[in-house]
Amino acid sequence: MTVIVGAAPIVAAADRNDENHTPAARALTRLRERLIIPAPVTAEIDYLAVQRGGRFANVPFLDDLAAGRFEVECLTREEYATVARLERQYGGQFGLADLSVVVLAARFRTRRVLTFDERHFRVIAPIQGGAFTLLPWDEA
């Protein structure tokens, strides 16, 4: 199985002062599935890590990428067109990072998303139908 990963859990897992540090770190330790981060989300993680932790706070994430802990996937031209369509459809409330998660979830035929962004991912429907399973909150 595959999980598409958003920015907040990665940043929270690295920041012991984040209120979601424990659930983020626990989820990343427990998940054995393929973890895919959309390329636009990697830039968001890099930026947030440095903003919160200072210079070099992004290096552990970069090391994880280099070690293959996460797979990074770029969007195709057609998928960018889908992002643009969804952005118009939902009135511009999501943005590239969130919509890249939606599009890659469709590509990899999964509804499992590691995110703390319930406000967005409880509203937007997966392209393939149904509802997203938001980890770690929806774990049984």
What's the whole-number mean pLDDT along residues 83-97? 96
Beta partners for residue 135, in sequence order: 114
Domains of the chain as residue ranges with CATH? 2-135 (3.40.50.1010)
Beta partners for residue 5, in sequence order: 114
Q: What is the DSSP string of 106-136?
A: HHTT--EEE-S-HHHHTTSPPTTSS--EEET
Q: Give the CA angle between residues 10, 15, 16 to the nearest 5°.
A: 130
Give pLDDT, residue 139.
Answer: 80
CA distances from 29 to 32, 84, 88, 101 (A): 8, 34, 37, 21
Q: What is the pLDDT of residues 18-66, one digit of tens each?
A: 999 999 999 999 999 999 999 999 999 999 999 999 999 999 999 999 9
Give pLDDT, residue 140.
Answer: 52
Length of the chain as a residue count: 140
Phi, psi of 17, deg, nearest 5: -90, -10
CA distances from 24 to 27, 54, 79, 119, 137 (A): 5, 20, 28, 17, 10
- pTM for the model stands at 0.94
